[in-house]
């Protein structure tokens, strides 16, 4: 190859974005920028929305006290259903409202086809379609939206593979857990000068592991229950165009953010009822939550966790955002979900209940690889029109999470590292 041929793809900006050398690093850099804007930008609006919604909770509590309602009724409706609903909305809405417009901006500008072009070879080796990379990117915002995005894949077999594996991409709902646990148990293992770097590398490793698992499970499915060869991928790289702001807002806010949030709200309130009942109904002075956690504890220990952590993931089925609040509720025996104001308070609480760096790593791994949230499962049921594939989408990532956590936890123990 002559020097001119080597540099030919870089004559303009378009060549750089799809080049073999710079294409993927630029793509990862843009994705990192989108994550950073989403995570940091969501903090303030999330706090504002939470203060507003929990302010309403205080007023509703005053109203229930004024009318002399029984405590159990106030507990079920306000501390259970309303508080869970408020929590899901305040934590879920701001990140989606930031991520989806940014994602749609890249889509409308013509960059996303370049992403599919850059990753097509990896997905072809996994016997799937290059367009799966686009649905995977959308899954970073919300796995339910990623599942809906699988409609762009023409082949039913490859569309189903993309649907079943989208959950391996950590969505915005799982990032609060990953960030909190990573900061405490990964960043906290090094000096303060390198704490931020260590946490950033750990979060990046988790994201890359999710991408690797997407490719690995896609390959396994394509060689077993969904056998087949990848369909030809003819992609016309349309010219870059000026994004249409109105179109971006309509597609990102109405078609994606509000659509997904609506489904999340529909399952959050009933879940809040179940969580409150399990935390407050007692048998012999022990709550149903504690009974179930004690039953699950031996299994949780095998995976490097405990029974209360396993129960938090189970009760967090409606929305991944409430996993950490449920853990706090369980350890503090408060009877309703809550959040600690300072990260140091959370660290002390977790350490006092036996958490080590291994516990933190296993929680992060299981948070990455476990069953989809109820909103995503509902969406998979709607998209596939099949209960069988919906159950498969539940079982596949959960089995992967159990296997990975079991191996990591027991290898670390055998080596005497904890």
Q: What is the pLDDT of residue 405?
A: 96
pTM exceeds 0.85 for this model: no
Q: DSSP string of 89-119?
A: HHHHHHHHHHHHHHHHHHHHHT-HHHHHHHH
Q: What is the pLDDT of residue 7?
A: 42
In 3D space, the residue among 207, 162, 163, 159 whose CA is nearest the CA of residue 182 turns out to be 207
Is residue 376, in this structure, part of any structural domain at all?
yes
416 phi-psi bin (left φ>0, alpha ψ -120 to 50, beta other): left
Is residue 2, in this structure, part of any structural domain at all?
no
Q: What is the pLDDT of residue 2?
A: 43
Q: What is the pLDDT of residue 13?
A: 53
Tokens representing residue 382 in the block: 């709607």
Phi, psi of 283 (to 5 degrees): -130, 110
Q: What is the pLDDT of residue 147?
A: 92
Q: What is the pLDDT of residue 212?
A: 92
Is residue 3, in this structure, part of any structural domain at all?
no
The span from the CA of 168 to the CA of 27, in Å, is: 19
Report the number of distinct structural domains present in the chain: 1
The label of the residue with tokens 């850099």 reads 29
DSSP-based three-state secondary structure for 279 = helix
User: Which residues of the chain fall below pLDDT 50?
Assistant: 1-12
DSSP-based three-state secondary structure for 249 = helix
- Structural domain harbouring 97: 10-230+239-414
The span from the CA of 128 to the CA of 141, in Å, is: 22
Q: What is the pLDDT of residue 15?
A: 65
The span from the CA of 388 to the CA of 376, in Å, is: 15
The span from the CA of 367 to the CA of 8, in Å, is: 44
The residues facing 283 across adjacent strands are 286
Is residue 170, in this structure, part of any structural domain at all?
yes
Q: What is the pLDDT of residue 1?
A: 43
The residues facing 200 across adjacent strands are none
Is residue 30, in this structure, part of any structural domain at all?
yes
Is residue 150, in this structure, part of any structural domain at all?
yes
The label of the residue with tokens 């259970």 reads 80
């Amino acid at each position: 190859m002559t020097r001119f041929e080597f540099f030919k793809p870089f004559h303009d900006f378009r060549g750089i974005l799809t080049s073999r050398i710079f294409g993927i690093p630029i793509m990862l850099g843009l994705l990192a920028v989108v994550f950073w804007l989403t995570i940091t930008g969501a903090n303030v609006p999330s706090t504002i929305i939470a203060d507003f919604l929990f302010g309403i909770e205080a007023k509703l509590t005053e109203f229930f006290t004024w009318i002399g309602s029984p405590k159990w009724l106030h507990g079920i409706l306000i501390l259970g259903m309303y508080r869970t609903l408020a929590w899901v909305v305040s934590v879920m809405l701001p990140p989606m409202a930031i991520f989806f417009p940014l994602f749609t901006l890249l889509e409308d500008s013509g960059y996303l086809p370049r992403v599919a072009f850059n990753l097509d070879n990896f997905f072809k080796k996994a016997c799937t379609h290059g367009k799966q990379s686009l649905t995977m990117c959308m899954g970073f915002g919300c796995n339910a939206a990623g599942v809906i995005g699988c409609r762009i894949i023409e082949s039913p077999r490859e569309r189903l593979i993309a649907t079943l594996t989208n959950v391996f991409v950590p969505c915005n709902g799982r990032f609060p857990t990953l960030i909190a646990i990573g900061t405490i148990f990964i960043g906290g293992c090094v000096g303060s000068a390198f704490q931020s770097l260590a946490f950033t590398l750990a979060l990046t490793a988790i994201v890359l592991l999710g991408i690797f698992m997407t490719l690995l499970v896609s390959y396994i499915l394509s060689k077993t229950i969904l056998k087949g060869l990848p369909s030809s991928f003819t992609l016309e790289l349309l010219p870059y165009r000026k994004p249409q702001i109105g179109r971006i807002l309509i597609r990102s806010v109405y078609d994606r953010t509000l659509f997904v949030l609506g489904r999340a709200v529909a399952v959050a309130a009933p879940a809040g009822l179940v969580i409150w009942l399990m935390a407050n109904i007692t048998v012999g002075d022990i709550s149903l939550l504690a009974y179930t956690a004690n039953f699950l504890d031996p299994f949780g220990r095998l995976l490097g966790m405990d029974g209360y952590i396993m129960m938090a993931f189970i009760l967090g089925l409606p929305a991944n955002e409430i996993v950490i609040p449920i853990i706090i509720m369980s350890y503090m025996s408060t009877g309703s979900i809550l959040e600690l104001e300072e990260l140091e308070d959370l660290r002390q609480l977790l350490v006092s209940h036996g958490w080590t760096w291994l516990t933190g790593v296993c929680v992060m791994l299981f948070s990455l690889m476990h069953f989809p949230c109820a909103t995503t499962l509902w969406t998979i049921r709607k998209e596939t029109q099949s209960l069988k594939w919906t159950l498969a989408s539940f079982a596949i990532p959960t089995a992967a999470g159990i296997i990975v956590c079991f191996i990591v936890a027991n290898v670390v123990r055998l080596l005497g590292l904890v």
